Amino acid sequence: MVRTRATVRDLRRQNRSVLLTALFLDGPLSRQQLSLATGLSPATASTITGELLDEGLLVEAGSVDSDGGRPRVLLRVNPAFGYVIGVDVGETGIKVELFDLAMTRLSTVDRLLTALEPALVADLIASGVDEVLAGVEASSVLGVGVGVPGTVEQGESAVVHAQTIGWDAVPLEKMIRAAGVTLPLLVENGAKTQGQAEMWFGAGRGARHAVIALVGSGVGIAVVAGGVVHRGATSNAGEWGHMTIAYGGRRCRCGARGCLEAYAGASAVLARYREAVRRDDSSLDEQSALEELLTSRSAVARRVVDESVGYLGAGIANLVNLFNPERVVLGGWAGLAFGAVKLDEIVAATSSHALRHPFGQVRIELALTGPDAVAVGAATLPLAVLLETGAPG
């Protein structure tokens, strides 16, 4: 439903956006190909590209023969037009990365976090941003995207809620500002930024309706409907982990019973295994422990793994039934570990819990990016703004 009026200027804005997006996603194109791809007349494609070339947003990228006629001049987004910064706020550390417009990583700064203290996080982000900016004109940076744990309420300024790490209505955007960052800021949930990365550069490419399911210690999703990340009324949408899947079942860290996370998250899987073998073998870190569990040939281990696959399949099936995506991408470190050895079984479990018809429409695939894609996805946020508005600033 359209809800707002349009003026003549909006036309140009939209057509610039369409053209720029086509160039960004489908590589170098000639003006003529652009005209075909976007539906714009050759005349308009020419004027708009002319404008964008003048502004430095585009550059020529060689030419190709056209059998018999004038060769086509290829155009592409100018990687050096500006930069974007992506920040990944993880549970143990912060990563700040600088990219050019072709999303080539130019520099990285890692900082360990001793405590998930909001003020500390804001300070580290600010200093990290300063550091990656060394030698770069700050005015040519389009913005800073920040991927954080928990849900992000987008309002006047972004506020973070993360029950599990004790962040209750943390005004992170304001705090980062206060710590000295003056660039445009875009704060978003880490699962959503990782999902964005997967949609643009990973297994989600080309899908208009997709669910990116991320299984780590906990579980989360990013839902893309009609090409747009689904956010809900207050950006809380996508709390897959605390979906009730076994009514009255295991207690979850959120306080409720029977949450998916209490069965299919890596921590929960390992806990179930420890209970089953009555042994507290927590000397290993979770990732190694899960690897060991997945490759173990003991009957108990196999049972726990199979059960986990069943729960995970049911959880995915619920997503398939509710969202009817054309693609489900399974990611996250635990998701990838499970998927590497059990993808077929996960698909089968999904099939047995999903309705036939929506299940028949979906392709379930493994993610192509790992958790390190959070920063990449975050960096795409300011880039997405550029593509949507068709102009910097």
Partner DNA sequence: GAGGTTAGTTCGCGCCTAAAAATAAGCCTC
Partner DNA sequence: GAGGCTTATTTTTAGGCGCGAACTAACCTC
The angle formed by the CA atoms of residues 368, 309 and 162, to the nearest 5 degrees, is 65
Shortest spacing between CB 99 and DNA, in angstroms:
28
Residues 6+ apart with CB under 8 A from 137: none
When binding is defined by CB under 8 A, the residue of 66, 163, 182, 282 that contacts a copy of itself is: 163
Over the window 39 to 58, marking each residue x when it contacts DNA by CB under 7 A and - when it does not, the resulting string is xxxxxx-xxxxx--------
Stretch that binds a copy of itself, among 79-87, 222-230, 332-340, 364-372 (CB under 8 A): 222-230
Alpha carbon 292 to its chain's center? 28
Would you mind telling me the total number of residues written for the chain in this entry? 393
Shortest spacing between CB 96 and a copy of itself, in angstroms:
27
Q: First-to-last CA distance in the chain?
A: 27
- Taking the C-alpha atoms of residue 72 and residue 31, their distance in angstroms, rounded to an integer, is 8
Contact flag: residue 66 with DNA (CB under 7 A): yes
Q: Which of residues 19-38 bind DNA (CB under 7 A)?
A: 30-32
When binding is defined by CB under 8 A, the residue of 117, 326, 345, 372 that contacts a copy of itself is: 326
Calculate the dihedral angle through the C-alpha atoms of 388, 141, 368, 75, rounding to the nearest 10 degrees: 60
- Taking the C-alpha atoms of residue 332 and residue 373, their distance in angstroms, rounded to an integer, is 10
Contact flag: residue 2 with DNA (CB under 7 A): no
Shortest spacing between CB 76 and a copy of itself, in angstroms:
19
- Count of chain residues binding a copy of itself (CB under 8 A): 73
Residue 62 or residue 232: which is nearer to a copy of itself going by CB? 232
Shortest spacing between CB 239 and a copy of itself, in angstroms:
4
Shortest spacing between CB 315 and a copy of itself, in angstroms:
8
Shortest spacing between CB 337 and a copy of itself, in angstroms:
22
When binding is defined by CB under 7 A, the residue of 1, 2, 4, 69 that contacts DNA is: 69
- Taking the C-alpha atoms of residue 349 and residue 281, their distance in angstroms, rounded to an integer, is 29
Residue 70 or residue 297: which is nearer to DNA going by CB? 70
Look up residue 98 and give its two tokens. 């600088």
Residue 129 or residue 381: which is nearer to a copy of itself going by CB? 381
- Taking the C-alpha atoms of residue 206 and residue 302, their distance in angstroms, rounded to an integer, is 36
Contact flag: residue 29 with a copy of itself (CB under 8 A): no
- Taking the C-alpha atoms of residue 378 and residue 97, their distance in angstroms, rounded to an integer, is 10
Residues 6+ apart with CB under 8 A from 107: 97, 98, 132, 134
Look up residue 73 and give its two tokens. 């001049």
Where does this chain bind DNA (CB under 7 A)?
Answer: 5-9, 11-12, 15, 30-32, 39-44, 46-50, 63, 65-73
